[in-house]
């Protein structure tokens, strides 16, 4: 006699729940985390999005991805040892965003502080750029090397609230470092490094192979999409102050 699905699900949960509550199984490892591919002319960067520990920030980023908003975006900022002479607390990151002439930001999201998510800014961490708390929209950055000053309580931003880490690079840190070392005027990459698109990646057919979901050419043009202007972020072509901190320029 076939057992009802709900009964099987309940039975499975009785097996998993004690292990989860005891910390013997990490919830993030118990389910597949989404991955995206950042496509650039210097190579691809594969990023795992931690939708378990940073659900709000991850959902915001993936919304931009799924709607094709990062298509034709760009890496527009590099922060390295030789271009932040006036900063007492130094960091190393590259920052990217959408093409603000083609699409507009959604409203800003609430800051998911690292003291709550348990994530930290390490080599390859992806995080949201911002000025004040609760102002992040679409700009993001990737860390080169460990950057503890970007965690909650860190001193890079004077408010001490840190930044919202929400994933990590799993492949392509060599590309990230190429972007960081590209020609720049101050912290502004000149020319910026174009992003062809950012698309999801998923397992194909239950095997070990993977496929990219949502080919760039098949996406509808989302020009002038619904949303608001970014608040305090460094647009790729606006010349506004940088968003990884409010004092870097």
Lowest mean per-residue pLDDT among 156-170, 186-200, 232-246: 232-246
Distance from C-alpha of 194 to C-alpha of 215, rounded to nearest angstrom: 17
What was the pLDDT predicted at 202? Answer: 75
What was the pLDDT predicted at 73? Answer: 98
Task: Name which of 206, 215, 112 is nearest 167 in CA terms.
Answer: 112
What was the pLDDT predicted at 95? Answer: 98
The residue among 143 and 203 whose pLDDT is bigger is 143
Max CA distance (Å), the chain: 74
**DSSP string computed for the chain:** -PPPHHHHHHHHHHHHHHHHHTTSS-HHHHSPPPEEEEEETTEEEEEEE-TTTSHHHHHHHHHHHHTTTTTTEEEEEEE-GGG-TT-SS---EEEEE--TTT--BPPP-----HHHH-----TTEEEE--SSTT---S-EEEESS--GGGSTT-SSSTT-----EEEEEEE-HHHHHHHHTS-EETTEEEEEEEEEEEEEEEE-TTSS-EEEES-GGGSPP-TT-S-B--SS---TTT-PPPSS-SS--
The residue among 214 and 210 whose pLDDT is bigger is 214
What was the pLDDT predicted at 61? Answer: 98
pTM of the model: 0.76
The residues, any chain, with a CB within 8 Å of residue 67's CB and separated by 6 or more, are: 222, 225
User: Are 109 and 136 contacting, i.e. CB atoms less than 8 angstroms apart?
Assistant: yes
pLDDT digit string, tens, across residues 121-168:
999 999 999 999 999 999 999 999 999 999 999 999 999 999 999 999
Classify 34-218 by CATH class.
mainly beta
Q: What is the rounded average pLDDT of the residues 177-200?
A: 98
Whether the predicted pLDDT of 238 surpasses 80 = no
The pLDDT-based confidence of 117 (bands split at 50, 70, 90) is: very high
Q: Percent of the chain having pLDDT more than 90? A: 68
Whether the predicted pLDDT of 26 surpasses 90 = no
Lowest mean per-residue pLDDT among 11-15, 44-48, 110-114, 172-176: 11-15
What is the chain's mean pLDDT, rounded?
80
Lowest mean per-residue pLDDT among 56-60, 166-170, 182-186, 204-208: 204-208
User: Are 19 and 25 contacting, i.e. CB atoms less than 8 angstroms apart?
Assistant: yes
pLDDT digit string, tens, across residues 65-114:
999 999 999 999 999 999 999 999 999 999 999 999 999 999 999 999 99
Whether the predicted pLDDT of 217 surpasses 60 = no
């Amino acid at each position: 006699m076939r057992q009802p699905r709900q009964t099987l699900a309940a039975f499975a949960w009785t097996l998993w729940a004690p292990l989860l509550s005891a910390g013997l199984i990490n919830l993030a490892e118990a389910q597949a985390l989404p991955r995206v591919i950042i496509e650039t002319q210097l190579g691809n960067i594969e990023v795992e999005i931690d939708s378990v520990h940073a659900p709000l920030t991850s959902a915001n980023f993936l919304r931009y991805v799924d709607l094709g908003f990062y298509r034709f975006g760009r890496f527009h900022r590099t922060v390295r040892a030789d271009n932040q002479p006036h900063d007492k607390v130094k960091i190393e990151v590259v920052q990217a965003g959408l093409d603000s002439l083609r699409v507009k930001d959604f409203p800003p999201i609430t800051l998911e502080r690292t003291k709550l998510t348990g994530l930290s800014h390490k080599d390859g961490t992806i995080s949201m750029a911002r000025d004040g708390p609760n102002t992040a929209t679409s700009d993001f950055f990737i860390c080169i090397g460990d950057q503890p000053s970007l965690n909650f309580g860190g001193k890079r931003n004077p408010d001490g609230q840190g930044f919202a880490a929400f994933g990590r690079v799993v492949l392509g840190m060599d590309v990230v470092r190429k972007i960081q070392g590209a020609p720049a005027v101050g912290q502004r990459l000149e020319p910026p490094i174009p992003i062809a698109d950012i698309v999801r990646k998923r397992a194909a057919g239950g095997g070990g192979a993977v496929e990219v979901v949502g080919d760039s050419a098949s996406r509808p043009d989302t020009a002038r999409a619904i949303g608001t202007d970014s608040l305090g972020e460094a647009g790729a072509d606006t010349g506004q102050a940088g968003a990884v901190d409010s004092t870097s320029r």
